[in-house]
Structures are given as structure tokens and as C-alpha cells.
Homo-oligomer: A and B are copies of this chain.
Amino acid sequence: MKKNMEDEQKRDKPISKTVISRLPRYYRFLGMIEAEGVSKTSSSDLARRMGLTASQIRQDLNCFGGFGQQGYGYNVSELKKDIGDILGINNNYSCVLFGAGNIGMAISQHLNFSALGFKLTAIFDINKNLIGKKIYGVEIHDVSEYESLKEKLNPKAAILCTPDEVGFETTKLLYDSGVRYFWNFSHYNINKDFEDAIVENVHLNDSLMTLCYAITNDDKID
């Protein structure tokens, strides 16, 4: 009994955000070399391909329990599967997208959700011209329909691509229905009002403007 509890604690010890953020990269690189027909790899081979150090890779993978064998290395398909399981890539979590404007349409049309752990189950907007249309089989509904659809959709996560001024009310609608995970492309600061929400922010405009600043300032210094 005691042993089990210790195992539990070991499994649940917090892993740094930096290590976690590298897991998708490992998963991606392993998929790439698997596609090349490579069946075995080593921490130094992965290090070379990924621009990391071998010891960093060994340390990272050790956070999740031992993978690979001393002197043998890693079985590519097995390691990929194990990391995929850690990420939860096969869970097909239901997610809904709010805001079918430019970014929202781009995201819903161009991402391979099922390969990333999710299933896009519905899109919501207020633009009457969009309601009823389908994006790869996923229907665009009026925002007012969310209440009646939420039980069926049972979303675990929401993708927020809404204008700034409706960020709060949209998040509240979702939060009140039990959604705690947000992929946020809008500029609304979710955690300001919903502290326990788990948010991944992607601010494309800010990112491009930051590059603009870098160019402008190098130009000044030249």
C-alpha cells in the first residue's frame, strides 16, 4: 500500500513547463525519423537532429520514467507511442471554436486536430452569413445555440478567436459550462478574470509586430 502511494507521488511530481513544452518536439522528430524508416535511435542522434544536447534529452525523458536501454538506445516507434500517450494524443478531446473570422477560419480549416489530441466538434459565430455552413464537416452555429448544444458537444477545450470586446462574455459562457482549457488566439487576457483556467496563448499579430520592432531597431543602430 505504501509502495503504491510512493509510486503515485513519483508519477505526479511536477514536471517543469520547459520539459513539457519540448515533448511535442520529441514526438514530431520521432514521427519524422519513423517515416524515414529509422527504427532505432539514441540520445546523441536525437540531439544532433534537434539541436539539443544528448544529456538534456536523457534528462527530459527520465522525467517521465525510464525509456530506452543503456547501450541500445531507443526503439523509435515505441518511444513515439510512449510520448504520444504521455501527451494524450489519442484522446480526441472535444473542442469548440468561437469566432469564425480570419484566424478562426484559418485554424479550423488548416489544422490536423485529430493528430494533436483533439476533435473539433463545432464552430460558433454571430455572423448570419456563416451560420449553417460547414468546414470539413464541422458546422458553424450561432453563438446563441451553444446553451442547447453544449451537453451533446461536451467540450473539454475551447479555441478563442473572438474580437477583444466579447472575450469576457465568451469565456464566461464556456467557463460556466465547465470548460477550463483554452487555446487563445484572441487578445483577451483570460486568466485576468478566470484564474484557474489553463490557457495557451497564441498572439500572431503581436509576434509579427515584435519582428517589426527588431528590424526597425537594427536599422536605427546600423
Contacts and interface: CB of A to CB of B under 8 A. Distances in A.
Nearest to A105: B110
Interface of A: 11-12, 20-21, 23-25, 27-28, 32, 50-51, 86-89, 91, 93, 102-103, 105-107, 109-113, 116-118, 156-157, 164-165, 180-181, 183, 187, 189, 192, 198, 200, 202-221
A213 B116 contact: no
A33 to B, nearest CB: 11
User: Within the oligomer, what is the number of copies of this chain?
Assistant: 2
Contacts of A51: 189, 192
Given A24-B210, A212-B88, A212-B118, A221 B12 contact: yes
B213 A23 contact: yes
A208 B102 contact: no
A183 to B, nearest CB: 6
B215 A88 contact: yes
B189 A211 contact: no
A117 B21 contact: no
Contacts of A218: 180, 198
A208 B114 CA distance: 11
A187 to B, nearest CB: 6
Contacts of A93: 212, 215
B209 A27 contact: yes
Nearest to A27: B209
